[in-house]
Amino acid sequence: MKNKIKKVVLAYSGGLDTSIILKWLQDEYKCEVITFTADIGQGEELEPAKQKALSLGIKEENIFIKDLKDEFVKDYVFPMFRANALYEGEYLLGTSIARPLIAKTQAQIAIQTKADAVSHGATGKGNDQVRFELGYLAFNPELKIIAPWREWDLNSREKLLAYAQKHGIDISKKKGKSPYSMDANLLHISYEGLILENPTCPPEDDMWRWTKNPKEAPNESEIIELEFQKGDLVAINEKKLSPAELLTQLNKLGAKHGIGRLDIVENRYVGMKSRGCYETPGGTILLKAHRAIESITLDREASHLKDELMPKYASLIYNGYWFSPERLMLQALIDESQKYVNGKVKLELYKGNAIVIGRESANDSLFNAAYCTFEEDEVYNQKDAAGFIKLNALRFIIAGKNGRKF
């Protein structure tokens, strides 16, 4: 395949690994390399990535840096939160949901530049290789895929550093750079490796980069109000902002109050278990608030059906099937359920907790005090419950008369 590749689009961060991949592609495939860097809110300056690509011989017209923050939140994060998606009951899918957007944009650049291949820096052990490649092939099944970690013998940090030194690739450590394997975007930041590879060891206090230690968070709580329209966040404290700005603001609020830390062992799609730590301050608040507004606006059976389908939906995202027919089918059902999910939620933020203290919907609330009051009412006949219970118990009654024991 090496002789057939003329032009390749590389998902490029400017870090050590992808800089080595860039040089390796030039040397091994003798092909023209195009770099693509996605700004999805990782909080890093992207100009150094451009300068590093130039220093490695990439033509300026072959360097693509795209601001995808609003698209990421509007078309990926928000649809996922309409489903209240959690993988294995805990993980808010911060890395998983970013990969399809990167893959789609990378495949589009390949079409635009008439490249015949794409390349990524995901290892052969992880989930990201699956997520990227399913995304590429969904958009262009003719694309060839180069996954260096599945081809080269640079399978240790020492070999990577030796390769970088041999080829003059800058290996200087960025100021404040964490030694952990990290992934960051507007939704979260993740940590893997080092001491975290031992699931009995607690994470080190100085590992966390975004959130305050809940013990050191403010002693005064803060009350905020979130407004939803059709299941999506549209305003914080009555201030309407763009999707990316809303999540950025939620992240600041959550980080300030030590909200959103998570330490889990998860089941990777490739079959192994891995331990990861995550900070998802804004997403943690958003999930709490979204469930609160659904609690008064969503029909009981619609709500229960959503909860039954959610684990499947979350697994599809985790495993890389964002562009699959089954995810699109589930999304259509979920989005239909959100037509009346409109209103406001008040939360109190305090030392790692986001506590719902109120919810209201001017036109779409199904909460009716006249029916559920403990006081006297004129709309509900309590005697009706006897027949309701007896009909629901009828199968027990018939089976009991037939001698069956329960």
User: Which residues define the annotated binding site for ATP?
Assistant: 11-19, 38, 121
Q: Among the options 128, 275, 359, 361, which is catalytic?
A: 128
Range 43-54 burial, b when 16+ CB lie within 10 A, else e: ebebeebbebbe
Residues 6+ apart with CB under 8 A from 172: none
Tally Cβ neighbours within 10 Å of residue 186: 26
- To the query of whether residue 181 is one of the catalytic residues in this protein, the response is yes
- To the query of whether residue 150 is one of the catalytic residues in this protein, the response is no
**CB 294 within 8 Å of CB 341:** yes
Tally Cβ neighbours within 10 Å of residue 22: 25
Q: What is the DSSP string of 285-297?
A: HHHHHHHHHHHHH
Range 263-273 burial, b when 16+ CB lie within 10 A, else e: eeebeebeeee
- To the query of whether residue 99 is one of the catalytic residues in this protein, the response is yes
Q: Among the options 39, 82, 99, 359, which is catalytic?
A: 99
Only one residue has tokens 């100021």, namely 175
Task: Give CA–CA dist 315/88, Å, rounded.
Answer: 8
Binding site members for L-citrulline: 91, 96, 127, 131, 181, 190, 266, 278
**CB 59 within 8 Å of CB 201:** no
Binding site members: 11-19, 38, 91, 96, 121, 123, 127-128, 131, 181, 190, 266, 278
Q: Are strands 343-350 and 353-360 parallel, antiparallel or unpaired?
A: antiparallel
Q: Among the options 75, 116, 178, 181, which is catalytic?
A: 181
Structure tokens at 224: 């905020």
- To the query of whether residue 17 is one of the catalytic residues in this protein, the response is yes
Binding site members for L-aspartate: 123, 127-128
Q: Among the options 17, 39, 183, 232, which is catalytic?
A: 17
Only one residue has tokens 């808010």, namely 92
For the CA atoms of 27, 28, 33, 36, what is the dihedral angle to 10 degrees?
Answer: -110
Task: Give CA–CA dist 336/342, Å, rounded.
Answer: 13
Residues 6+ apart with CB under 8 A from 251: 186, 210, 281, 282
Residues identified as active-site: 17, 99, 128, 181
